[in-house]
Amino acid sequence: MNLSRNQHAILLYKNDSSRNLISAKCINQGLNDGQLCIYASVNDCNPTRLTKLSSLIDSYRKNIKNRNLLIVGMKPFYDSALTGGEIEGKIKMY
């Protein structure tokens, strides 16, 4: 995958394994190019699922610590859109 700077990607996938592989490939490419990367997901930001993805990302903990990589749980936004409720205080960053 060849993404230019300041571009966004959306992934449609058949299973978790293929999603993790292509997500990690895109994130690693961006980090290697010196870009700041954000991974946002409705269902994939719990610790169990993140363990699988994080194992495929180069220097995962270092990039999180240095704020080169941000993981955002979008479930509160999704739930709020469905119910028309508030999301304040429910946003999670990993």
| pLDDT, position 77 | 78
- How far apart are the C-alpha atoms of 70 and 36, rounded to whole Å? 8
Q: Is residue 25 part of a domain?
A: no
Q: Is residue 30 part of a domain?
A: no
Query: Domain of 52?
Result: 36-93
**Of residues 15, 40, 37, 13, the one with CA closest to residue 26:** 37
The answer, as to whether pTM is greater than 0.75, is yes
Count of domains for the chain = 1
Q: Is residue 8 part of a domain?
A: no
**Of residues 90, 69, 71, 70, the one with CA closest to residue 79:** 90
Q: Find out whether 53 and 83 touch, Cβ atoms under 8 Å.
A: no
What are the tokens at 15?
A: 């299973």
Q: Is residue 13 part of a domain?
A: no
35 phi, psi to nearest 5 deg: -90, 155
Q: Is residue 71 part of a domain?
A: yes
Position with higher pLDDT, 67 vs 18: 67
| pLDDT, position 73 | 85
* CA distance readout (Å), 49 to 26, 43, 70: 18, 9, 15
Q: Is residue 57 part of a domain?
A: yes
pLDDT in tens, 2-60: 666 667 777 777 888 888 999 999 999 999 999 999 998 887 777 788 899 999 999 99
Position with higher pLDDT, 23 vs 78: 23
